[in-house]
Each structure stands twice: as structure tokens, then as C-alpha cells.
Amino acid sequence: MTIKQITIIGLGNIGGSIGLAVRNSEMANVTVTGYVRREDAGREALRLGVVDRVSDDLGDAVSGADLVVLATPVSAMETVMQQINPYLASGTVVVDVGSTKVDVNSWGRQHIGPAATFIGGHPMAGSAATGIAGANGDLFRDTVFCVVPEPDTPRSAHRMLEQLLEWVGARPLPMSAPQHDQCVANASHLPMLLASVLVTTVANNPQWDVTSQLAAQGFREMTRMTAGSAEVRRSICSTNKQAISDAIGGFIDTLENYRQHILEDDEELLAMFEDARSARSGWVAMRYPR
Amino acid sequence: MTIKQITIIGLGNIGGSIGLAVRNSEMANVTVTGYVRREDAGREALRLGVVDRVSDDLGDAVSGADLVVLATPVSAMETVMQQINPYLASGTVVVDVGSTKVDVNSWGRQHIGPAATFIGGHPMAGSAATGIAGANGDLFRDTVFCVVPEPDTPRSAHRMLEQLLEWVGARPLPMSAPQHDQCVANASHLPMLLASVLVTTVANNPQWDVTSQLAAQGFREMTRMTAGSAEVRRSICSTNKQAISDAIGGFIDTLENYRQHILEDDEELLAMFEDARSARSGWVAMRYPR
């Protein structure tokens, strides 16, 4: 297996960063093609060096590709799969980088093949930067990349995705689609939601006029995640409804428990804060050593 | 009114930063005394230059002070007020820098006077740094400082506090104690709690083993606030129970509303995310211009 051509569909921050990372890799000897709809976006992609060539035609963009990376919002993926499948060469592997996997994998099974193969992927890397202008070739360096096959996904698809990860410097973490969706509901969709819910709650309180003047760094930090694309988060929610609802349920139970201890003003509350602090610092030490 | 001597009780990050800011101010011509219990902490304070002199005796530390700044955790303040009052000279103003005001102001009314006067204060500045080692003379520069008098607090106390704020570069924001406690419950106590609740929820989920491996920057950012002192947050909770419980109630209602829209997968959810993003970016532009 040798990858000679990679096509990236969707040149936002993630798609653009993958292009840059592959083109910067000394190991990779590939041509990177980018699919973009708008002509000016294509010029920008070439100017930033994230791709070798661009195309505004999906069939043309994927033709001859060994590996196709779907980097559109999750909401667009099913349609894109249907549109590209007729143009995929035999043996082509299609991977996505979306934030949810049960629905995406099921679309892959339905719409990709029999010539090509689908495998799900999800890079656990993100930045405050958005869009292609914020693309960063080191974005995936030393980060985790969830590899989410189905039980019958052929070994060749695994190998091709692992090759890509080696080039961009990411570490594969294999898991099933349902497990992925439950874990990211807690680790990433819940935190993202809390930021929006916090703003909605506080900004709609009758005291916002004064609160807005004294709110400071804590509020700023805990609401920064509202800054991402509303469309992206809506499509995350719509493809991971149940797991997100379960994560919300767990959060509300815990919050009610804290509230009870606050109202009773008991000693246990101190231990709860200590436990949360130590669980978090243990996690940081494990995930971000050095 | 001329301030010649300031005594700071409690040389943690906030107390230490006030000392540094006053000593760095070209306008101030004062002696700064710090009260510390431990001898090594006193040596450290002198070495860092946050005070001109230290004392491990409360009566000695406040004697001759024009302005006394209480910078202990809220839980220690009532006792400290009782202990210092007999030693306060006529006209001395006592200000605190605690995070809640209804209880603290009521202790001030009970325990400070008649020679001295109490006025409540709360700097809306904090940093990830903790302890005196992280003291920063610019911590209050261009930040908001809540000034929380009672209706009968004499004008002289206002003036003395305003003088201090001018020296440290903070902007006074006057309000009543109940309004303060409601606003900070939303702007700062709720965000702080959410960070702990998020860790407790996610780390106790049966999937934590895998979740901990893929959780990344979003989780890291939304849990950073767990890092502060558990004792400080417990004393915040115990002196602001009702307002915090109300803020939690408002948050749960909003979260349940988001959950409903997620489960129904309706268009409204997109508008909710957009509204939260724009409310937040409007707030940032207002609070942190340039």
C-alpha cells in the first residue's frame, strides 16, 4: 500500500491543517488535492500552501485518490458520500474527521463501496482558530486520533489511516462507534454545551446589566467555547442526541448533588471540591506530561 | 484624608498583589504592613517586596493603620474582625476583598466600630497563579472593583477605598450587598462550580477509562477552574447559599431547555447557539475593548 494522492473535501481549519501537515511531512510523497466550492477559497488554499491543487468538482477532486478525507461539517457528510462514491477508484479508502461516529459510520456503510472502503476517524485536536486562515501543520502533533472501524472494516483501510496519522504526528486510539459517541458526549460535547448554556443563563438574567460589568476572567474562560460554528455544533447534537442527553442527565444529577451540599453547608462539600481538583490534575498529568 | 499606613491581613495572591501594587504606585507614600502567622511566610513576603514590614501579632499589625485590608478566606473574616477591632485607631477604615458581601458586611457592622468603619470590597481580578509567589503588582490594573457599602457607610470610608483603588489602578463599581451576591453567583460562583461538577460527572462515568484518553483541550479549559483552593470555594458557597442555589436553578432550567431542543433536533437550536455566541462576543467587546 502506497498513498500517492490524498483528496481533502472541506478546507476549513481541520481539513486545511491536515493538508498542511501532510505537505510538511518529510515521510509523505503525495499530491494533496482540495475540493472547494468557491473560487476565492481555492486561491486562498493554494496561497497558504495547504494543497497542491484544488478542484470545484467533486468527481474530479476524488478521481485517482488513494485516500479521501471528509472534513465537512457532519451535516454535509451523507450527501458528499453519495456524490463521490461513483468516482472512487477500487481500493480507495474514505475517512472522515467528524465529531460523531454512529451515524457517520452507518452512512459510510450505506453509501461508500463496493470499490472503496469507509473508516471513521476523529482527531481530538482543535484550536480557537477557525477557518483555513488558522490552519496549522502541527495541530495534530502528539494528539489522539480516534480510529473507529466497524467489525468488518478491512485491514487495508486501517493501514491507510494509520499511515496518515503517522504523517501528521497523531496517535491512533481505536474504539467502537457507540463507545466513541458516549465518550465524546462527556469529554467534548457536554463542555461545549455548558459554555453556551452558561451564557444563555447569565445573559438572560434580569441582573445582566450589572453582572456584565463585573463578570471577568472566570466567565470569559468558561464561555470561550461558544465561539465555534453554530452549524457544526448543531450537527454534532443532531447526530449524537441520546448520548448527549445522557451526559446532560449525569451532569444535572451531579449539579443537584453539589447544590444539596451547598444548601446544607456540610463538610462533604470540601471533599467534593478536593476530589474534583485532584481528578483533574491527575488527568492533566496523564494527558499532557512534561 | 491621607493614608500613611496600610495593613494587609492575609498575604495570599490577592493580599500580596495589593501590597505590591501599592508599593509600586508612584502616587502612594505609605508604609505597608503585612500580618502573617508563619515566620517563613513573613520572610518570603519581605523578600518579594510585597510589604515594608511584617508582624505575626494582629494587634501590632493593625495598630496605627489608616486602612486595613482583610484578604483572608471569607471563612476567617468574622474572627479576624473580632480580634482586630480593639486595636483599631479612630477613623481607621477596614475593607475586605472577599467574594461574598451580605454575610461579610453584616459581620463588619457587628464587629467593627465604633472607632473604625467597615466597607465591603471585591476585586474582580484573579489569576491562575496562587499564593504570594504569584503576587502581581499589575493584577488590578484596568479591572473592576466592586464597592459594597451599607446605606449608612460614611463618606470617609468611600474616599479611603477610592484612594486605594486609584493607587492599584482599579475602577470602582458601586452596588448593594444583595445585588453583589446575586451577580457574582451568576458571573463567578456558577462558572467555578460548573468546572468541578464537570470533572465529577465525567470522571465518575463508567467510561472514564477511555474518555480520559480522548478528552482534550475543551475539557481541559472547562475544568481549569477546579484548580483554586477548595477551602476558598467552600467558604464562598457557605456565605452565598441562596444566590448560588438560584443561579444553579436557572442554569438547570436552561440546560433542560437545550436538551429538549437537542432531542427534538429542531431549527431553534441553531439560533440558540448563535445567540449565545453573539451575546458572549458582545460582552467581550464591551468588557475587554481593543
- Whether B132 and B217 share a structural domain: no
Distance from CA of B118 to the nearest CA of A (A): 22
Contact B241 A281 (CB under 8 A): no
**A159 lies in the same domain as A190:** no
- Chain B residues close to A252, C-beta within 8 Å: 252, 255-256
Q: What is the mean pLDDT of chain B?
A: 95
pLDDT in tens, A255-285: 999 999 999 999 999 999 999 999 999 999 9
What per-residue confidence (pLDDT) applies to B128? 65
CA A254-A255-A258 angle, 5° bins: 90
Domain boundary residue, one of B150, B175, B200 = B175
Q: Per-residue confidence at B110, pLDDT binned at 50, 70, 90?
A: very high
Same domain, A116 and A88: yes
Q: Does A152 touch chain B (CB under 8 A)?
A: no
The answer to whether residues A106 and A50 belong to one domain is yes
- Per-residue pLDDT at B1 exceeds 80: no
Q: What is the ipTM of this complex?
A: 0.92
Domain region containing A212: 179-287
* Among chain A residues, CA nearest to B213: A287
Q: Please indicate, yes or no, whether residues A18 and A148 belong to a single structural domain of this protein.
A: yes
Tell whether A281 is within 8 A of chain B (Cβ).
yes
Give me chain A's average pLDDT, please: 95
Say which CATH number the domain at A155 has: 3.40.50.720
A151 reaches B (C-beta below 8 A): no
Region A35-39: mean pLDDT is 92
CA distance B176 to B146: 9
Contacts across the A-B interface (CB distance below 8 Å): 295
**Per the structure, how many domains does chain B have?**
2
Of chain B, the end-to-end C-alpha distance in Å amounts to: 36
- Least Cα distance to B33 among B1, B80, B67 occurs for B67
Residues of chain B in contact with residue A193, where contact means CB-CB under 8 angstroms, are 255, 258
Count Cβ atoms below 10 Å from residue A75 Cβ, excluding itself: 15
CB contact under 8 A, B200 and A247: no
Q: Does B89 touch chain A (CB under 8 A)?
A: no
What torsion, rounded to 10 degrees, do the Cα atoms A25, A30, A33, A34 define? -20
Q: Are residues B155 and B99 in the same domain?
A: yes
C-alpha to C-alpha distances, A69 to A62, A77, A122, B243, nearest whole angstrom? 10, 11, 11, 49
Q: Is the pLDDT of residue B26 over 90?
A: no
Using an 8 Å Cβ cutoff, are A136 and A20 in contact?
yes
Do B251 and B165 lie in one domain? The reply is: no
What's the pLDDT score for residue B129?
Answer: 72
Residues A83 and A200 in one domain: no
- For B226-235, what is each residue's pLDDT tens digit? 998 898 899 9
Please name the residue of chain A whose CA is at the shortest distance from the CA of residue B220.
A284
- pLDDT tens digits, B162-172: 999 999 999 99
Band of pLDDT at residue A26, cut at 50, 70 and 90: confident
Rounded to whole angstroms, how far apart are CA atoms B188 and B124? 9
Question: Do A213 and A134 reside in the same domain of the chain?
Answer: no
| Each residue's pLDDT tens digit, A190-223 | 999 999 999 999 999 999 999 999 999 999 999 9
- Pick from B124, B226, B276: which is nearest to A200 by CB? B276
Spatial distance between the Cα atoms of B125 and B145, rounded to a whole number of angstroms: 8
Task: List the grid coordinates of B187.
Answer: 458571573
Nearest Cα to B179, choosing from B156, B152, B151, B160? B151
> Quick check: B129 contacting A, CB < 8 Å?
no
Nearest to B214 among A124, A200, A201 (CB): A124
Last residue of a domain, one of B116, B146, B175: B175
- Whether residue A173 is predicted with pLDDT greater than 90 in this model: the reply is yes
B161 and B232 share a domain? Answer: no
Query: Does residue A27 have a pLDDT over 90?
Result: no
**Residues B55 and B162 reside in one and the same domain:** yes
pTM metric for this prediction: 0.91
User: Residue A163: what pLDDT?
Assistant: 97
* Angular region, A111: left φ>0, alpha ψ -120 to 50, beta rest: alpha
Using CA atoms, how far apart are residues B66 and B92, in angstroms rounded to an integer?
5
Q: How many Cα atoms are found within 13 Å in the side-chain-facing hemisphere of A60?
A: 9
Residues A70 and A163 in one domain: yes
Closest alpha carbon within chain B to A145: B214
Q: B175, B192, B219 — which closes off a domain?
A: B175
The CATH number that applies at residue A273 is: 1.10.3660.10
Residue of A nearest to B257 (CA): A197
Q: Which residues of B touch A273 (CB under 8 A)?
A: 196, 226, 230, 233-234
- Does residue B270 belong to the interface with chain A, where contact is any CB pair within 8 Å? yes
